[in-house]
Amino acid sequence: MANIEYFDKPLKSRWDELDSDRKDFLDTARDAAEVTLPYLMPPEGHSPGSELTRPYQSLGARGVNNLASKLILALFPPQAPFFRLELIDELVQQMASAAEQATGNGATAKDEIAKGIGRLEKRVMDEIDSKRHRVQLYEAFRNLIVTGNTAIRLNDDGSLKTFKLDAYACKRDAEGNLLELIVHEEVSPRTLDEDLRTGITDLDKPVDLFTGIKLNEDGQSYSTYQELNDNQVSDTEGTYKLDNMPWLVLRWSTISGEDYGRGLVEDYLGDLQSLNGFSKMLLEAGAAAARVLFLVNPNGPTKIKTLAEAPNMSYIKGNADDVTTVQLDKLQDFQVAQTEKTEIEGRLKQAFLLNSAVRRDAERVTAEEIRFVAGELEETLGGTYAVLSEELQSRLLDLVLVGLKASKAFPNLPDKAWRIKIVTGLEGLGRNHDAQKLLAFVQSAASTLPEAGRYLNPTTFLQRLATAQGIDSTGLLKTPQELQAEQAAAQRQQMVTEAVPGVAQEAVKQMGARNGA
């Protein structure tokens, strides 16, 4: 184990220093949570038994939950790997050549290599599914959308744990690389070892546990250790290489020079707060308008008691002009507020990719229109895809592979032998758009020029379509040699078929001649 590099002061002291730099981000995160999901970032000083403020609208919560679900499906699809493992071409050629010399069938060896890689990809996805990573990732995405920041720890058993912004503080360099990370947890003394409980008198009061992670001077590894009540906890020291450090400190969007990210809700905080205000006002105004009050002329012949006690459909003495109802003469003002509220809802639905914002207001909406508008909305998250692909997908995959290699469940080949390619997010969007443009070109050409098919190369078209959709066409599409062999076989078969009637007629003639003789 490499030498541990410690902080130059107790972790709690360094936590207090970093906490001051985090205050503005925490205040903004709490404002964002207040109009979406308040429990994601409660107010400062909130205790588990305290009541949270509830927003007067549900669009913020719906938008966050909807977008988090879409991110899970886009970045970690449940029925397909979000990555592709590839052996380098030189290694595949060497293995195929060895198989060709040994068995005379190198093509079969390539197919077996592809099948083996597919099984390895499935093994990785089984590990992710068995540890229920998507549950914690969904929570992480909600924190990212609302607060812009979250941290994920890969535990020793392969499971994940998500931390909110108020549970950690960090420091980054100008390029955004993590320099320091301090995590604050409140743990029950009853869960601690006996030697750690020394000096703790109240076993029901949580104690502060700090975990420090620091980039070493070599820039290639991190040191980590824990402190409890300013005392270092034994057997918690360790070092990690850059690619297997089990902490992922994520941001929704990166801002140059800032240690923390900014969330999507912050971008639309003004609209959400305005919507919350309009919703509150219209709700209170609607309740006031729904209240029924009668005014009776005190000098008229109509008696209040007679009106109150009269049964339905009865006749009483009185004057209709003596009784009126209290009305709010604010209908036009309410309509102005409702119109503004509707416009804000439309902008927020579009921002959070809600389905109702995708469809236009018409009786018949084609599926192609929905796909087109949905694609435009997803493109607005291109920067987010880039950040999450680099800081979450690739890093999480590296950690899972390290764990599988340690458990001998994955071949421990040199890193240079593998290529790991993320096939969702920006990569997936790009391939999907290429496929759509390719199909649109063929359809447009066919509608404009009916004979356009004569000018297209079917094999090349299918190869490009397979590439655009991320499909390995090896062994799937017939080679030119195979097509030529099939064409030659078909021509021979046709020649035989055409020759059969003539041969049969000649045989009949010969049989007739023999019978006549």
pLDDT digits (tens, 9 = 90+) for 486-495: 888 888 777 7
pLDDT score of 205 more than 80: yes
Residue 221 counted as domain residue? no
Residues 377, 74: Cα–Cα separation, whole Å = 13
Q: Which position has the higher pLDDT, 395 or 463?
A: 395
Q: How many domains does the chain have?
A: 1
Provide the H-helix boundaries in 380-479: 382-388, 394-406, 426-448, 458-468
pLDDT score of 320 more than 60: yes
Q: Of 145, 425, 139, nearest to 268 (Cα)?
A: 145
Per residue in 184-193, pLDDT (tens digit) is 998 888 888 7
Residues 214, 437: Cα–Cα separation, whole Å = 48
Angle between helices 394-406 and 106-130 (to 10 degrees): 100
Q: What average pLDDT does the segment 204-223 reach? A: 91
Q: Tokens standing for 198?
A: 């020394």
Q: Looking at 245-254, 325-334, 503-512, which range is the least confident one? A: 503-512
Q: Buried b vs exposed e over 194-209: b needs ≥16 C-beta within 10 Å?
A: eebeeeeeeeeeebeb
- Given this model, what pLDDT does residue 107 score? 54
Per residue in 146-169, pLDDT (tens digit) is 999 999 999 988 899 999 999 999
pTM score, whole prediction: 0.76
Residue 16 counted as domain residue? no
Residue 353 counted as domain residue? yes
Q: Which position has the higher pLDDT, 48 or 91?
A: 48
Q: Which position has the higher pLDDT, 115 or 137?
A: 137
Angle between helices 133-147 and 106-130 (to 10 degrees): 70
Residues 26, 210: Cα–Cα separation, whole Å = 19
pLDDT score of 20 more than 60: yes
Radius of gyration of the CA atoms of the chain, in A: 35
pLDDT score of 371 more than 50: no
Per residue in 232-275, pLDDT (tens digit) is 888 889 999 988 899 999 999 888 889 999 999 999 999 999 99
Residue 202 counted as domain residue? no
Structural domain span for residue 346: 269-379
| Maximum Cα interatomic distance, the chain, rounded to a whole number of Å | 140
Q: What is the dihedral of CA 84, 413, 214, 19, to 10 degrees?
A: 20
Residue 53 counted as domain residue? no
Strands across the sheet containing 160-163: 160-163, 149-154, 247-251
Residue 169 counted as domain residue? no
- Given this model, what pLDDT does residue 468 score? 61
Task: Please give the mean pLDDT across all residues of the chain.
Answer: 81
Q: Of 399, 464, 394, nearest to 423 (Cα)?
A: 394
Q: What average pLDDT does the segment 405-415 reach? A: 71
- Given this model, what pLDDT does residue 373 score? 41
Do 237 and 260 meet the contact criterion of CB atoms below 8 Å apart?
Answer: no
Residue 325 counted as domain residue? yes
Question: CB-based burial of residue 503 (10 Å sphere; 0-12 exposed, 13-18 middle, 19+ buried)?
Answer: exposed
Residue 479 counted as domain residue? no
Instruction: Report DSSP state, residue 477.
Output: S
pLDDT score of 408 more than 90: no
The model's confidence at residue 142, banded by pLDDT at 50, 70 and 90, is very high
**What does each C-alpha distance from 227 to 137, 185, 326, 438 come to in angstroms?**
28, 11, 67, 59
- Given this model, what pLDDT does residue 369 score? 47
